[in-house]
Structures are given as C-alpha cells and as structure tokens.
Amino acid sequence: MWIVVKSGTNSDKTLFTFSPTGNVLTNAEEVDKNRLAVAVNTSLLIRSVQTADSGLYRCSQHEDSNLQKPLQVLVLNVLSGSADRILTLQAGSSATLTCSLTCGFVCPSPKLLWSDSNGSSLQGGAREGFLICSNITSSQLFVTGLQSSEQIRCSVEEEVEQRVYLQYLIQLPGDINVIMNRIHF
C-alpha cells in the first residue's frame, strides 16, 4: 500500500493498494493517472514533479487489518522558481528571481545559494548589482543594472554538497528567458 502525507497536512491519503492476487487498486480521488503510477516491482513513479507533490510517501505491507510493516519511506522535497518579470530586458534593467524549496515533511538544513555564470557565489553582496533576500526555504535575487546577458543558478546545498539546482538565463537585449533545469541526486 502506498500512502502519502502531503506537505502542510497531517492526514494520510491512500494512493495505491495491492490485492493478494497482485492487482493494483488506485484511489481515483487522490491519484492523477497521467503523473502517478506503480511499477511492476511496486515502486512509486511520479512524472512531472510539482510543488504540490511534496510530502512523506510510505509503502507498507498489511498482514492483517491493523498490522503495518513499513517497506519504504520517501520524503519528497521540491525546488521551484519563478521570475517576477518576464519581458524584454534592456541594458540597465532590473529583475527579481525567486527560488523556493517546498519540503515534504520537515525541511532538513539546506542552504539556498545563488551563483553567476562563472560559478562565483553571489552571497553576501559578493558582486555589485545582486542583492539576496532569503529565509530557510525561499530566496529572492534582485538583479539591478544588468549590462550583459547572465546565467544565474539557485542551488540547494546540504552538507556542502549540491543536491539540485534551477538555472535562469537572462538575455540582453532580447527577452528574459527562464530555463529551469532540474538535476536530481
């Protein structure tokens, strides 16, 4: 049986149940069949992960109506981002980039870090024209007076290791294009 406790809630929702004959019963109220599925080996498959998918996923075996034997527990944290201005950006213009981490149950102690196209940190005013406003799970980068195209990265770092990142490409003098590449661990 696959059960989820979605981020921000405290109630279990059953996603899939396995019958003794090997059939998979799907809870149609909770499962988007275009994105959630169970593999033959009972692995949970989530396609096109979204912020709303963050949560605590648990696969357990029921030997009778009350006894649960946990087989697998997965905490899904989702990194998302946006730009508050998506329009033609001329030299000297400003933009705000946002990066948010939605935690599945309890946020670990990650760091949201910003870096430029050279991989240099933008933390703590390391480069003029870049100001960061952050808390544990959300960070905004205010870009002012941009004079050339820039590739900006927001990454989640845990224990000095980069886990996942979003990459933004700001092009001058054309449009601001936001490219979000997700690299999973």
Residue 176: closest CA among 79, 94, 81: 94
Give me the tens of pLDDT residue by residue for the chain, a chain 185 residues long. Answer: 898 888 878 888 999 988 878 788 898 888 888 999 988 888 899 998 888 888 889 988 776 666 667 788 888 888 888 754 444 567 777 778 888 888 776 676 767 888 888 888 887 665 666 666 666 578 888 888 777 777 888 888 877 777 788 888 777 764 344 444 434 33
Sign of CA dihedral 112, 114, 119, 120: negative
pLDDT at 105: 67
CB-side neighbour CA atoms (13 Å) of 99: 31
Cβ atoms within 10 Å, residue 152: 23
pTM above 0.85, yes or no: no
pLDDT in tens, 145-170: 777 777 888 888 877 777 788 888 77
What is the DSSP track for 133-163? EE-SSEEEEEE-S--S-EEEEEEEEETTEEE
Please report the pLDDT score of residue 46 as a whole number: 93
Q: What is the pLDDT of residue 45?
A: 92
Predicted local distance difference test score (pLDDT) of residue 79? 82
Nearest partner of 132 among 152, 158, 107, judged by Cα: 152
Starting from the edge strand earliest in sequence, which strands make up the sheet with 161-170, in order?
A: 111-115, 150-158, 161-170, 176-177
CA-closest candidate to residue 99, choices 157, 146, 27, 160: 157
Instruction: Kindly list the structural domains of the chain, giving each domain's residue range(s) and its CATH number in brackets, ordered by start.
Output: 2-76 (no CATH), 78-177 (2.60.40.10)
